[in-house]
Structure 1
């Protein structure tokens, strides 16, 4: 299970869609016009093996475009834990900040500067590869994330097969057919899983111009990932019962702070958290 908790930790999640420009570059699809992007996505899904039963198959991440990143930044100083919600772009409506290149530059800079312990769910197979692949596609400088030390103890290595700085929770809780979806293990643990929206609908939301809905959904998954991390850290002996309760309380405070800033979607998250926790308590 988990081996360490670094002083700087980032529990994160990404949302992405089939990249219309990928279809234009690879298959000469015309992406102009009202329905151009949608037709481009359909072509990518077709090339990816779409069937009537599965019209939107999972695509290679290199063919996709990152539309948002959200995570809980956890920093410890003098024994005090501080949580901060980070989302890129922060809000919908600014075309420059919504560009994939802009999102990646900000993300890479933050990772390269702070060198946090990255925590995700299925992040080894999806989130980290798409960051790397799309950064290369854009020709971006790695900002320190791509650097590797000569020896494991000489620095942070996000690509080491047995390192502690790139933590994927999924293979910790299952293997192959026994790996639960984030929604499943979170919900059964009394933590909100998918609320209203499934990841497969992100493309539809993007085509409808509903980026803010995607950002809200992304933030839900980021909070869920962090709460699941805390639960696994408790199981691993890295957070005792008191510290685990304190971590959950800090997340609740964070949500209240975000609601006070205008992020009303977190009201629904808290309501679902309370409902599931009450159900989970029946096991006691």
Structure 2
């Protein structure tokens, strides 16, 4: 089996970067730096979602599936520096050359990783290879939109038409999966400020499991999995989560009454 890596980011404002760009000193509290940036953004474009290069990575959640089984975790620890998280992500690619799977990874997660890797000087030779070092990457690499080495499932299902994009939470629930529980991306910054990093990490982990379940359903739709193989993958996820004694997985399983039942 080709190793598969599902990934998702949770981000917070890059307060240090905002200080550099705006000349705001240490006398301005972090919360005020972020609020000033949000206010300027709202005035400029009508919303407070900051540009991608000013999104600091707080959490990288991952599902890893290979011949050894199914694993879900966040890279590093909650207090690890951002550079360590970014480096850990690209080192996983360097070591395993997995297929990457995301929901809106092309539109958000990967560009953020590009910018933050550039800022921190993180090397990622395997990821950026477009055939210069490995001829196979000329026709299947992580960078080209239509190559399968990275599958942005949202982009693909919408037939690369942004007007047709569907939210992961709603589509997951329509497919019988739990979807988001207790938090969404708009609440991450406040939770992080309040010291609730463990909640943010738990939320990110559930999101990558939602994405993996959707990818399994997609592979069944494509005919890449038989019904028995699909059921076995879904059962593997459920059994793995049941063996992890953590509150967010108990809540997740309680919201998942039937193991991937299709209506």
Scaled by the length of structure 2, what TM-score is found? 0.90
Q: Deviations over 1:54-107 (max 9, x none)?
A: 5xx22221101000111110113xxxx6111131234x4xx3xx2101111111
Query: In the alignment, which residue of structure 2 is the partner of 1:3?
Result: none
Q: Secondary structure at the match of 2:212?
A: helix
Query: In the alignment, which residue of structure 2 is the partner of 1:43?
Result: 36
1:29 to partner: Cα distance: 2.1
Query: In the alignment, which residue of structure 1 is the partner of 2:194?
Result: 208
Pairing 1:166–2:150 present: yes
Q: Deviations over 1:127-186 (max 9, x none)?
A: 111111100011121252222214985236210232111110112222333311111101
Query: In the alignment, which residue of structure 2 is the partner of 1:190?
Result: 176
Query: In the alignment, which residue of structure 1 is the partner of 2:204?
Result: 218
What do you get for the CA RMSD once the two structures are aligned? Answer: 2.3
Q: Name the CA distance, whole Å, in 2 between partners of 1:11 and 1:255.
A: 16
Structure 2 unaligned regions, length at least 5: none
Q: Secondary structure at the match of 1:194?
A: coil
Compared CA separation, residues 272 and 50, structure 1 to 2 (3 A)? farther
Structure 1 unaligned regions, length at least 5: 1-5
Q: Name the CA distance, whole Å, in 2 between partners of 1:213 and 1:86.
A: 13
Q: Name the CA distance, whole Å, in 1 between partners of 2:256 and 2:37.
A: 37
Q: Deviations over 1:184-217 (max 9, x none)?
A: 1011111111101011000001111111111010
Q: Of the candidates 49, 54, 64, which is equivalent to residue 63 of structure 1?
A: 54
Q: Name the CA distance, whole Å, in 2 between partners of 1:200 and 1:23.
A: 19
Pairing 1:87–2:74 present: yes
Scaled by the length of structure 1, what TM-score is found? 0.84
Pairing 1:114–2:96 present: yes
Q: Secondary structure at the match of 2:126?
A: coil
The answer to whether the 8 Å contact 1:16/1:66 transfers is yes
